[in-house]
């Protein structure tokens, strides 16, 4: 029998021609950039390493377990020709060392439990004392075999004793209850933080990138992935300096994240894109109307089906294990960071790049980052409705002359260094004019008085009743500058032709009258000037007609 002898040189040739990959090489990575959306965040991790010629598998480990596998996207830059072949993800279990922060939280939780036990014990003592007082009161007011009923003076003294002690016990019990509520709330917060730090225990994910190099090279890999439990909201501080005619508007983002990993000194971008809405308009199915048929099911005919929601263009992705062949470009010089925030607008969204590195812990706490500080020219005026409240409110008519779209958000208003009020700012696009409420200002005094009201049912007006009203409105400018004051009042509006409303004063040219019965005055008052307006009107109707709505 002929046997084929295997040559050692043949085996050597086969081994040389087959690409042998070692176990994936774990590399250190850091979170370099984060883009936060309204309900999620896209995290960018960066790793740098030196690799020899050939194919390699690079592993970025201990990534959050809740990351979206379908969102993985990788890129590669190298000092020599290189190709990123594919990227995949897998679950990972890691023996995690004790976390000092977890230990600190555990210690705080133990201290809260100790204080809650003290409160519970003290509450038991108070209950025993209250029962003791009740027993004293009950025993002292019940006649015994050898004890007569107490007299009036004794009962008064007993009542004062028990009442005073009972009030003290109840007051202390309320304090204990309030303290226990505070501790329970704090305990819940700490437990949530601890759960966030532990994430899913020792479960993580790791991403494996397969790369090929034609020669040894310095390599930089970037990995993008999407995480939930991150969000941002716009918030604003509007400040009017004394004597100034411009509004200082500080545009900020209120960012929260409990994604399972801390963000330390990251390049932060806030985006207005809304990935949850998807990219396609939902389609209406036919709305079928037919003869009623028992047991027929039409619910599906009227359903509105949404197209699947793709990821936003701001964060393109590649599905897990998708094959890629991307020649790496030559290394690029880092771009110089601008000193002010940048805004980039797309067809349907805008992104705000924060120029200062940001750090956010994964504990759900809110942190403000400044997007921009804007100065906007303002035309100031005071508005009032003294029939409802004798207070003048300062308002600024201004215009968004910046490149920043102002999104709807909370607005804190300051006059000088004094906080005035919190409110809401509507959405304002670049170039759009808008009004900014700046709160109440006691520098403009306004007062409305009922001078007289009387009813005339004499025969001079026939078989009719006339109700006459007269009000006086006084406005005073206590500022050192001339100020514009606009205020409004109203007439009754008749819904029946038998009821007639007649404006007697002011004259038509002195006031603007609207169809809904509102009357609007527009005055400019000099410093210290006081001016008054008289509002007189009558309501007339048949004497035998019952009328509602008259004060």
Q: Is residue 232 part of a domain?
A: no
| pLDDT classification of 549: cutoffs 50, 70, 90 | confident
> For 18-27, 102-111, 176-185, which range has the lowest pLDDT when averaged over its residues?
18-27
Tell me how far apart the alpha carbons of residues 142 and 152 are, in angstroms, rounded to a whole number.
14
- Asked, for residue 384, whether it belongs to a domain, the answer is no
How far from 369 is each of 269, 309, 359, 360, 407, CA to CA, in Å?
10, 29, 10, 10, 15
DSSP 237: E
- Strand intervals (E) in 457-529: 464-477, 483-490, 500-505, 512-513, 518-525
At 22 the pLDDT is: 59
pLDDT band (50, 70, 90) for residue 200: very low
CA–CA distance, 87 with 322 (Å, rounded to integer): 7
Residues 472-494 have pLDDT tens digits of: 999 999 999 899 999 999 999 99
Query: Binning pLDDT at 50, 70 and 90, where does residue 277 land?
Result: low
Count CB-CB contacts under 10 A for residue 84.
Answer: 23
Whole-number Å distance between alpha carbons of 137 and 459: 73
Average pLDDT across the chain, whole number? 81
For residue 151, what pLDDT band results from cuts at 50, 70 and 90? low
Asked if residue 157 belongs to a domain, the reply is: yes
Could you report the per-residue pLDDT of 437-484, keeping only the tens digit for each? 888 888 999 999 999 999 987 656 678 899 999 999 999 999 998 999
Residue 448 forms part of a structural domain: yes
d(CA 14, CA 32): 43
Residue 212 lies inside a defined structural domain of this protein: no
In a domain, 518, yes or no: yes
pLDDT tens-digit series, residues 114-141? 999 999 999 998 898 888 878 776 766 5
**Picking from 235-239, 275-279, 323-327, which range would have the lowest pLDDT averaged per residue?**
323-327
Instruction: Please tell me the predicted confidence (pLDDT) of residue 1.
Output: 38
Q: Is 204 in contact with 61 (CB distance < 8 Å)?
A: yes
Helix (H, G, I), strand (E, B) or coil at 436: strand
- Between CA 378 and CA 435 the distance in angstroms is 9
Domains in the chain, number? 2
Does any domain span residue 61?
Answer: no
Kindly indicate the confidence band of residue 97, based on its pLDDT and cuts at 50, 70 and 90: low
pLDDT cut 90: percent of the chain above it: 43
Q: Which of 144, 175, 198 is the last residue of a domain?
A: 198
CA angle centred on 521, ends 520 and 525, rounded to 5°: 155
pLDDT score, position 434: 93
Confidence class of residue 113 from pLDDT cuts 50, 70 and 90?
A: very high
Average of pLDDT values for 139-144? 60
Q: How confident is the model at residue 279 (pLDDT cuts 50, 70, 90)?
A: low
Distances in Å between the Cα of 76 and the Cα atoms of 29, 52, 219 are 14, 15, 7
In this predicted structure, the answer to whether residue 146 has a pLDDT above a threshold of 80 is no
Range of the domain at 493: 444-542
Residue where one domain finishes, among candidates 198, 217, 240: 198
Q: Among 108-112, 285-289, 323-327, where is mean pLDDT lowest?
A: 323-327
Using CA atoms, how far apart are residues 462 and 69, in angstroms rounded to an integer? 86
Interval 199-216 mean pLDDT: 81
Per the CB < 8 A criterion, the answer to whether 527 and 459 are in contact is no
For the ranges 82-96, 100-114, 277-291, 301-315, which has the lowest average pLDDT? 301-315
Note the pLDDT of residue 301.
Answer: 40
Domain boundary among 140, 166, 198: 198
pLDDT tens by residue, 208-259: 999 999 999 999 999 999 998 899 999 999 999 877 788 999 999 999 998 8
Given this model, what pLDDT does residue 245 score? 83
Mean pLDDT along residues 100-113: 86
Backbone angles phi, psi at 224, to 5 degrees: -105, 140
Query: Could you tell me which of 432, 367, 380 has the C-alpha nearest to residue 406?
Result: 432
């Amino acid at each position: 029998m002929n046997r084929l002898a295997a040559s050692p040189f043949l085996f050597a040739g086969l081994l040389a021609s087959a690409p042998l990959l070692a176990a994936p090489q774990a590399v250190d990575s850091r979170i370099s950039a984060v883009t936060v959306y309204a309900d999620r965040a896209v995290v960018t991790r960066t790793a740098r390493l030196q690799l020899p010629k050939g194919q390699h598998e690079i592993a970025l480990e201990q990534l959050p377990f809740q990351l979206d596998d379908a969102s993985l996207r990788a890129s590669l830059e190298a000092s020599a020709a290189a190709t990123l072949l594919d990227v995949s993800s897998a679950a990972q279990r890691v023996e995690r060392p004790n976390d000092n922060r977890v230990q600190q939280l555990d210690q705080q939780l133990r201290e809260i439990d100790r204080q809650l036990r003290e409160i519970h014990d003290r509450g038991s003592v108070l209950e025993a004392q209250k029962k003791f007082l009740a027993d004293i009161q009950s025993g002292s007011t019940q006649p015994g075999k050898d004890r007569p009923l107490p007299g009036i003076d004794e009962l008064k003294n007993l009542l004062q004793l028990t009442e005073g002690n009972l009030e003290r016990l109840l007051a202390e019990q309320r304090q204990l209850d309030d303290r226990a509520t505070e501790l329970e709330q704090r305990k819940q917060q700490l437990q949530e933080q601890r759960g966030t730090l532990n994430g899913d225990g020792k479960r993580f994910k790791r991403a494996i990138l397969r790369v090929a190099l034609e020669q040894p090279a310095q390599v930089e890999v970037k990995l993008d992935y999407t995480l939930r439990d991150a969000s941002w909201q716009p918030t604003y501080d509007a400040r009017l300096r004394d004597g100034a005619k411009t509004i200082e508007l500080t545009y900020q983002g209120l960012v929260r994240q409990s994604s399972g990993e801390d963000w330390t000194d990251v390049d932060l971008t806030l985006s207005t894109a809304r990935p949850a809405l998807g990219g396609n308009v939902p389609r209406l199915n036919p709305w079928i109307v037919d003869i009623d048929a028992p047991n027929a099911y039409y619910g599906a005919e009227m359903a509105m089906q949404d197209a699947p929601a793709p990821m936003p263009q701001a964060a393109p992705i590649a599905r897990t294990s998708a094959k890629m062949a991307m020649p790496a470009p030559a290394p690029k010089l880092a771009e110089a960071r601008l000193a002010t925030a940048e805004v980039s607008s797309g067809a349907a969204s805008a992104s705000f790049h924060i120029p200062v590195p940001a750090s956010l812990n994964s504990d759900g706490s809110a942190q403000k980052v400044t997007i921009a500080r804007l100065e906007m020219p303002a035309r100031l005026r005071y508005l009032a409705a003294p029939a409802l409240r004798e207070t003048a409110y300062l308002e600024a008519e201004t215009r968004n002359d910046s490149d920043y779209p102002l999104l709807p958000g909370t607005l804190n208003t300051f006059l000088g260094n004094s906080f005035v009020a919190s409110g809401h700012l509507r959405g304002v696009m670049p170039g759009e004019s808008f009004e900014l409420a700046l709160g109440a200002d006691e520098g403009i005094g306004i007062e409305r008085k009922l001078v007289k009201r009387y009813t005339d049912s004499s025969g001079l007006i026939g078989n009719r009743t006339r109700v006459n009203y007269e009000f006086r409105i006084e406005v005073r400018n206590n500022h050192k500058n001339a100020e514009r004051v606009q205020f409004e009042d109203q007439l009754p509006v008749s819904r029946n032709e038998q009821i007639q409303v007649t404006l007697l004063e002011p004259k038509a040219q002195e006031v603007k009258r609207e169809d809904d019965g509102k009357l609007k005055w527009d005055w400019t008052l000099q410093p210290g000037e006081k001016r008054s307006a008289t509002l007189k009107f009558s309501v007339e109707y048949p004497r035998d007609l019952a009328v509602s709505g008259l004060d």
